[in-house]
């Protein structure tokens, strides 16, 4: 049955298309950013809907204070910042926008893979500090190397096609995507045991959940080729940070490109400061295009729900 949503609170910076689409469909929109938890708990009582990106922590306390709330919309993919169990218990629908960020996340992954092969970040910094007069450094081509893609959903697939155009061989693992499907886009699937020792580069594209916490740990690093380079543009903790640091220090891991950390902004200085680590502050989805898509998608999904159409998302 259609659900009545007359008012929506947008509690952080979401693309203006979100507000426009909601208002065009007769929904009243309020934007209030940087609220404290208490302020949010007081404010939320008045609204039927809440739209967030990733800064707003929609905890059980917030949800339980929200007497009229029917829908929580996440303009992005991961719903880690929403207590989905508490929301569901109260009959509140939680929606994400599962595809708006895909290309941006894939492109940043490719940028980190390329940076790792040629140390672009390091040389840029040295040029900036005018330290480079002559520097002997030998990079390596990506051409002909093996890329292991753990997680073959939307983002893993886009990373594969882009890196195939660089001449990389793409192998992968996913517990859901059938091997014949990934084979049709050029990714040979195999069990992780077989995958680790073949990779020159590994990139992870899974959600963070019990089965993916520490997917790369001391044991899996030990099975890898010496000097393997790894990228994480998914969620902090899929690559165990302590194991990664140990592998970087021993040379078992030759470099890491990290957009995400267990704690954000990252407090793990030994990891961030390691000379073979390239760090970004969770920028995978931070492009004009991705934000416009996610803002518009979440608004359209809410409007569809009000009109009684099919639900999309988590
Ligand atoms: C996501 O889950 O969509 C990304 O991590 C980006 C974001 O935080 O919005």
**Does residue 158 sit in the same domain as residue 208?**
yes
Q: Structurally, how many domains does the chain consist of?
A: 2
Q: Does some domain include residue 2? A: no
Atom of ligand 1 nearest to the CA of 79: 2
Question: Any idea how long the chain is?
Answer: 314
State if residue 100 touches ligand 1 by the CB under 6 angstroms criterion. Answer: no
Let me know if 235 is a catalytic residue: yes
Q: Are residues 173 and 37 in the same domain?
A: no
Clarify whether residues 191 and 275 are in a common domain.
Answer: yes
Helices (H), the chain: 16-24, 37-43, 60-65, 84-89, 102-118, 120-128, 154-164, 179-184, 192-195, 218-223, 241-250, 269-272, 288-306
Q: Which of 17, 19, 235, 274 is catalytic?
A: 235
User: Residues 126, 261: one domain?
Assistant: yes
Ligand 1 atom with the smallest distance to the CA of 80 is: 2
Asked whether residue 153 is assigned to any structural domain, the reply reads yes
Statement to judge: residues 89 and 108 lie in one domain: no
Task: Please choose, from the candidates 27, 87, 15, the residue with its C-alpha nearest in 3D space to the C-alpha of residue 302.
Answer: 27
Give CA torsion, residues 161, 167, 171, 174, to 10 deg.
-20
Our answer to whether residue 264 is catalytic in this structure is yes
Cβ of residue 56 lying under 6 Å from some atom of ligand 1 = no
Question: Per the domain annotation, does 255 fall within a domain?
Answer: yes
Cα 250 to middle of ligand 1, angstroms:
32
CA distance 294 to 76: 6
Q: Is 285 in the pocket of ligand 1 (CB under 6 A)?
A: yes
Model-level pTM greater than 0.80? yes
Tens-digit pLDDT profile for residues 146-199:
999 999 999 999 999 999 999 999 999 999 999 999 999 999 999 999 999 999
- Domain span including residue 22: 7-98+288-306
44 inside domain:
yes
| Per-residue pLDDT tens over the stretch 17-34 | 999 999 999 999 999 999
Q: So what's the ipTM on this one?
A: 0.92
Contacts of 94 (CB under 8 A, 6+ apart): 71, 72, 74, 79, 82, 84, 87, 88, 313, 314
pLDDT digits (tens, 9 = 90+) for 53-109: 999 999 999 999 999 999 999 999 999 999 999 999 999 999 999 999 999 999 999
| Residues 298 and 253 placed together within one structural domain of the fold | no
Cα-to-centroid distance, 76 and ligand 1 (Å): 5
Neighbours of 153 (CB within 10 A): 16
Is there an atom of ligand 1 within 6 Å of 236 CB? no
Task: Tell me, yes or no, whether 221 and 274 share the same domain.
Answer: yes
Cis peptide leading into residue 46 (ω within 30°): no
Pair 300, 261 in one domain: no
In this structure, the answer to whether residues 136 and 234 fall within a common structural domain is yes
Note the pLDDT tens digit of each residue in 229-287.
999 999 999 999 999 999 999 999 999 999 999 999 999 999 999 999 999 999 999 99
Cβ atoms of 72 and 94 within 8 Å: the answer is: yes
Query: 268 and 243 in contact (C-beta within 8 Å)?
Result: no
The finding on whether 102 has its CB within 6 A of some atom of ligand 1 is no
Residues 27 and 152 in one domain: no
Do residue 40 and residue 54 come from a single domain?
A: yes
Is pLDDT above 80 for 312?
no
Provide CB contacts within 8 A for 60, sequence distance 6+: 83, 86
Q: Is 180 exposed, middle or buried (0-12, 13-18, 19+ CB in 10 A)?
A: exposed
CATH of the domain at 273: 3.40.50.720
């Amino acid at each position: 049955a259609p659900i009545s949503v007359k008012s929506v609170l947008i509690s952080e910076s979401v693309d203006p298309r979100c507000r426009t689409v909601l208002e065009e469909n007769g929904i009243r929109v309020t934007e209030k950013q940087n609220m404290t938890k208490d302020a949010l708990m007081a404010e939320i009582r008045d609204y039927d809907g809440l739209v967030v990106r990733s800064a707003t922590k929609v905890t059980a306390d917030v949800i339980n204070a929200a007497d009229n709330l029917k829908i929580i919309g996440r303009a992005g993919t991961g719903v880690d910042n929403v207590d989905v169990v508490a929301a569901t218990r109260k009959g509140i629908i939680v929606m994400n926008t599962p595809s708006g960020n895909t290309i941006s996340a894939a492109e940043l992954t490719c940028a980190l893979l390329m940076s790792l092969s040629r140390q672009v970040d390091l040389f840029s910094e040295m040029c900036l500090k005018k330290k480079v007069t002559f520097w002997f450094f030998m990079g390596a081509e990506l051409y002909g190397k093996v890329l292991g893609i753990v997680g073959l959903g939307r983002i893993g697939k886009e990373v594969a096609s882009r890196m195939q155009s660089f001449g990389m061989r793409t192998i992968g693992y996913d517990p859901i995507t059938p091997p014949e499907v990934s084979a049709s886009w050029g990714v040979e699937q195999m069990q992780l045991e077989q995958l680790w020792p073949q990779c020159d580069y590994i990139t992870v594209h899974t959600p963070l959940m019990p089965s993916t916490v520490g997917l790369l740990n001391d044991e899996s690093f030990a099975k890898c080729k010496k000097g393997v380079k790894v990228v994480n543009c998914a969620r902090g903790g899929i690559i165990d940070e302590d194991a990664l640091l140990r592998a970087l220090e021993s040379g078992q891991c030759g470099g890491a490109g990290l957009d995400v950390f267990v704690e954000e902004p990252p407090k793990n200085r030994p990891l961030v400061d390691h000379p073979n680590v390239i760090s970004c502050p969770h920028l995978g989805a931070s492009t004009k295009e991705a934000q416009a898509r996610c803002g518009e998608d979440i608004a359209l999904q809410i409007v569809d729900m009000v009109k009684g159409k099919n639900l999309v998302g988590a």
